[in-house]
Structure formats: C-alpha cells, structure tokens
Amino acid sequence: MARGPSPQKRAADRRKRRRLADVVLERLGERYGHPTWAGPRVDAVSELILTILSQNTADTNSFRAFTALRERYASWDEVLAAPTDELEEVIRPGGLAPTKSRRIQHVLAEVHDMTGGTWDMGFLGEWPFEDARAWLTSLPGIGRKTASIVLLFNFGRPAMPVDTHVHRVAWRLGMFGRTTPLERAHDLLEEILTPEEMYPFHVELIRHGRDTCRAPRPICGLCPLTDACGYYADALRGRAPMAPVPRRRGEADAPPRYHDELIHGWTPPE
Ligand code: SF4
C-alpha cells in the first residue's frame, strides 16, 4: 500500500502554505484594495442557479443566461413549473442548456421541499457548518466549489471556494502541486486560513488569476509575488513560460465578467 508523506513533511508543507498565504494577503490585499465580505451579493437561490449556469462556460455567457432567466420568469416557482424544454431555450446562451435546465429544476425542487416553498435558505447560516456543506453537496450537480461559494458569499461562513483561477495561482506559488485535485485543494487551503481570511484570499486570487497570473502564461513582470513564487523561479531558469509585460498597462486589465460585476455590486433583475 502506498504511504503518504510523513507527519514532518505534512507539517513543513503546511507551514509553507501559511507563509505564502501571509504574502498573498498582504501584497495582493494592497493591490486589490483588501476586499472584505459585506453581506450577500445576491440571494442564496440565485447564487446556486448562477453557479450551475457558470459550469463549463465563460462567465459572460452564464451572466447572459441568468439575466434571461430572471427576465423570463417572475419567481423561482415559475422556473420550477416551467416546461423543461422552454427553460432550456431561455438559458441557451449559457451553454449545455439540456443538462443545466434539468439540473436547475432538480435543485429548485430540492430547495422548494427543504424550505417549504419559502425559498429562504437561511438555515444554511444556522446549521453546523459540516451539515450545511453536506446538504449543499448532496444536491444534483453541486460540488465543493459551489457549496463553498454559497456558504462564504451568502452566509459569511468559513469555506474557501477553489475555482480554476484560485487553483492556478496557488499551485504556481507552490502551495500544492499542479495536479492536486480540486477537492483536496479546498482542504489544503481551508486548513491554513482563518475564517476572516477566506473571503479576501479567494477574491484576491481570482482577481490576480484574471489580471496577471493568467492561463496559459502569467505576466510575472507585473506581479508583486515574484520573490515568493516557485513558478517564477522555474521561469527564470527557462523551465516555464511567461508572457511579456504589455506595452500599454490597459492591455493587462482583464475585461469585466459577471463575477467581477457581482463583486462590485451587480444585482439580478427583479
Ligand atoms: S510571479 Fe508569475 S506565476 Fe508567480 S504568482 Fe506572480 S504572475 Fe503568477
């Protein structure tokens, strides 16, 4: 049977992750204005449906699909009762509409049952944390990332969502390996962050992954983390690609997408 790392190695890795987290929180905090959680950006049901729409598609598409859905239907009851092929047509801009329309109605049916038709998911802020997360991840198509987004963004609970940007910046820095599964990455980050640090850390890494530490090539010349970054050390030795610094600073700014819009106060149409 394969043996895992020794306790000493695990402790050293954990200390390294913590040191890197300190650097990130200080320097990216300064760059991105020390984001703090100021209450839900949308209601919890909207957050769930948004994240389903955002699966395997660009944010601009899911944003468009969500807006179309809220313009077409006046309530979640209407979305639940809609003919599935009609809902599929409405959310087609979000991609994978046949799968997502069924998934949305399954999730809404579960939420309807759990809330007695009130759509008030406040229980997720009151239940023991593990119970709340287990209920969310039991919903069809809802994984650890989506559950963490709802718990963190809607209820300020200590969950650390790891999306593709967070995972990429974290592995490049050296917080875990490039092939570390997403589920494991959630555990590795949650064990070294305090509850108050999870929101700023999440937002800062997403911003950085979009603005600077991009896929497939990061613009390390614009990054304040170079002296702490394992990827940058490899890049200096010619073992990893970097993108040149754009001639005009504006070229390095990622276009706004729905996540940014939400972070900056966008609310869905009534
Ligand atoms: S130095 Fe480069 S690879 Fe490292 S975090 Fe910054 S942009 Fe990403």
Q: pLDDT tens digits, residue range 31-53? A: 999 999 988 878 899 989 988 88
Q: 164-173 and 195-211 are packed helices; what angle lies between their axes, rounded to 10 degrees?
A: 90
Residue 198 and residue 28: Cα distance in Å, rounded?
13
Class of domain 8-36+161-260 as given by CATH = mainly alpha
pLDDT in the model for residue 141: 87
Ligand 1 pocket: which of 168, 204, 212, 217 to mutate (most atoms within 8 A of CB):
212
Same fold, 8-36+161-260 and 44-155: no
pLDDT surpasses 90 at 58: no
First to last CA, the chain: 56
What would the mean pLDDT of 124-133 be, rounded to a whole number? 97
The pTM assigned to this predicted structure is 0.89
Burial 214-246 (b: 16+ CB within 10 A, else e): beeebbbebbebeebbebbeebeeeebebeeee
Q: Are 162 and 115 in contact (CB under 8 A)?
A: no
Domains in the chain: boundaries: 8-36+161-260, 44-155
Q: Which of 139, 77, 131 is nearest to 106 (CA)?
A: 139
For residue 222, the ligand 1 atom closest to its alpha carbon is 7
Q: What CATH superfamily is the domain 44-155?
A: Hypothetical protein; domain 2 (1.10.340.30)
**How many other C-beta atoms lie within 10 A of the C-beta of residue 52?**
26
What would the mean pLDDT of 70-97 be, rounded to a whole number? 94
Q: pLDDT tens digits, residue range 195-215? A: 999 999 999 999 999 889 999
Ligand 1 pocket: which of 164, 173, 178 to mutate (most atoms within 8 A of CB):
173
What would the mean pLDDT of 87-111 be, rounded to a whole number? 94
